[in-house]
Structure 1
Amino acid sequence: MLSQPRKLNISKGVFMFTTKILLIGTFFLLSAPSLLMAENLPKTDEVLAQVGDNRLTSARLDMMIDLMPPQLQVMLRSNDQMRKELINRWVDINLIAQEAVATRIDQEPLVRLKIDEMKNRVLVEALINQRLGTQPPVAKEEVASYYENHSSEFEQGEQVQAQHILIRLAADAGAADKEKARKTIGMLQDKLKNGESFATLAEQFSEDPGSKNKGGNLGYFSRGQMVKEFEDAAFATEPGKTSPPVQTTFGWHLIHVLDRKAPQKLPLAQVSKEIEARLKAEHNEKALKKLLDELKGKYPVTVK
């Protein structure tokens, strides 16, 4: 029997994620101590919490929330209890971080290296977003040209849409289990011959949890996506017909083909977003290479 899924502790999961974000922010701030000083904060900004000289202001809290996923941002901005919990987590993290600084853990070589690496990642991300974020959008003409010049990439082979009923049979099944599976498949064939619905029988008898609640519907698939025995039977069956029993490593199947699509070239409208994403990635890669070439001319680089 399949076990029931556990209920998720949403609050715990949310704040575990938040803690990770705050830890990164704390390490970054500790690597730039001047940012922690009170005189660097707006005089009119409300202080929500303070640990030593480090203050959490409403503006800083808003910036921290801005770094989080949109759904979490909405939750934190609409739920006072969650905001309080976030502030409490900030206090906890800063207490631990300040003790680490007081005991000079931040000066240990490995810790120093990790802090520097985190700082560099933040700076690299910020600069790349600033420089590459202003790239012009990919032109429709460029998308159309790519589509025409790479037409083979968008050719789709023959596809079938099929339902199936699976009666599982282990590879090491004994004679009794094999006979039971054979009789079950035979019984289902008889029911289908008597006009019973394939979808209804799939919901009642199929042992494929991924498709049984959809009437056994597997959607469209191409050659190479299914095990060979299943694929051969599906592509050999005409739409509206049901295959003879097919044995695979999963067990016994009955396959009912619903539809068949001939090979085709996918229309531009269907793949334009994918092409645009590819071209944008290429543009960004070229822009990054250009930026690196410029920086190599600006700063001395030595590699041994």
Structure 2
Amino acid sequence: MSESGMSARRWWREPLLHFLLIGILLFPVFHWFGDVRAGDRILVTRERIDAMAEAFARTWQRAPTSQELEGLVDDYVRDVMAAREARAMGLDQDDVVIRRRLRQKLEFLAEDSVTASPPTEHQLQDWLDAHPDPFRTDPEYAFRQVFLDPLKRGDALEKDAARLLQRLQALGGDANIRNVGDSLMVPRDIERMKVGEIARVFGDRFAQQVIRLQPGSWSGPIRSEFGAHLVYLYDRRTGAVPPLGEIRPQVEREYLAARRREALDDLYRSLRQRYPVVIESEGEATLATGDGT
């Protein structure tokens, strides 16, 4: 064997060369595992610890002890470790609870964009002008009533009511009814009363019949919790919309709720453009378009 061949064989047997080669081969492996360990690190920042302490203080009206704070940090670390391990095991896949929670968080982000800046007076007034009915006060009714006591009149009640109704219709709405009919601890003349108030005094059935009466004539008999009544409806006042200054909190609440609904509708409309939806039915699959049709 030549001298150069012998030299090369001696060079390959050198331990130093073996060490260098092993190092070159292992370097990417160590580098890769080092990155994994760095990615697995759980960092508990000073800001997060302060937030834990503040939340504890709001709940218990005192600062946590060092042992309690250590327990809070440990519980947070367990949360993070468990969440990471669960995701690594695929436990977050096809879980309806997790899916709904993620949806909720996404919707919260969309809704927060609405409440980032408070509405102006002009916006609220425009909303009130366009949607007055939810803020309109209840209608009010003014009527007169003549009571007929079924305990006193017995079987003659219907006949007495028909005869008295004919008499009152002839006299009209200005008839003197002070001594007409039977006594009752309720005024004969009701100047203004809302439907709910009428129902509380006379009963719901009576109230529902009174609000359907046509003003300007005597009607009846109408049954109540007390007995029978002849009723003259002489005024019906439609509910009014209060000024914005009197109902601003309610208007703002409804305005923001509508804006949040619009924000969610816009969000899902844009998402439908990104995610084709295939709905399987019997024997075929239907592709739902982005606009929901």
Instruction: State the TM bucket, normalised to the shorter chain.
Output: 0.3 to 0.5
User: Which structure has the bigger radius of gyration?
Assistant: 2
TM-score by length of 1: 0.37
